[in-house]
Copies of this chain bind each other. A is one copy, B any other.
């Protein structure tokens, strides 16, 4: 649906403002659907984000700051999120050998299992994952425009 209809906006907006509001609105919409998809698995969206980051760098682990620099939302509190994931046994924490300030976090087997379960469920869900209405070329285009938007 067009943004103007979603927001019941009457007056037409300038193109740049429309793009900006649309980014915020679409992200909020997307975050909402992801949260809904994750709920049955007892995991939150930032926790899921961390798990995917760790999975991407497995079998090597990452330090807390490394995780933070790779996160979508960099204002979040990685220490506490990692602690939650450790309690639910989806990640493991080992002190770094050389630098005793550092903690290396790795995804556990249970964490990997959870990720694949979630991936399966999302695939089953709405005949493929969210946002697949776009063609391959359009998805590439969208990503490029967003990169440029942030410049």
Interfacial chain B residues near A24, Cβ < 8 Å: 27, 30-31, 72-73
- A10 at interface (Cβ–Cβ under 8 A)? yes
Number of copies: 2
Chain A interface size, as a band, is 35 or more
**Interface of A toward B, CB cutoff 8 Å:** 1-3, 7-11, 15-32, 56-57, 69-75, 129-134, 136, 138-143, 145-151
- Which residues of the other chain, B, contact A149 by a CB distance below 8 angstroms? 26, 131, 133-134, 142
Closest beta carbon of chain B to A115's beta carbon, Å: 14
State the CA gap A128–B22 with chains docked (Å): 19
CA distance A17 to B146 in the complex (A): 14
* Chain B residues within 8 Å of A145, by CB: 134, 138, 141-142, 145
* A146 contacts across to B, CB distance below 8 A: 3, 19, 22-23, 25-26, 142
Main SS of chain A's interface residues?
A: helix
- Extra 16 A-B pairs, beta carbons < 8 Å, given A3-B143, A15-B140, A28-B75: A3-B147, A10-B56, A10-B57, A16-B131, A16-B139, A19-B134, A22-B143, A25-B146, A26-B149, A27-B28, A28-B72, A28-B74, A29-B150, A133-B149, A134-B148, A142-B145
Distance (whole angstroms) from the CB of A82 to the closest CB of chain B: 18
Whether A23 lies near B23 (C-beta < 8 A) is yes
Mind listing 30 A-B residue pairs with CB under 8 Å?
Answer: A1-B147, A1-B151, A2-B147, A3-B146, A3-B147, A8-B69, A8-B70, A9-B56, A9-B70, A10-B57, A11-B56, A15-B136, A15-B143, A17-B129, A18-B139, A19-B131, A21-B72, A22-B143, A22-B146, A23-B142, A26-B146, A26-B149, A27-B27, A32-B74, A133-B149, A134-B145, A138-B145, A142-B142, A142-B146, A145-B145
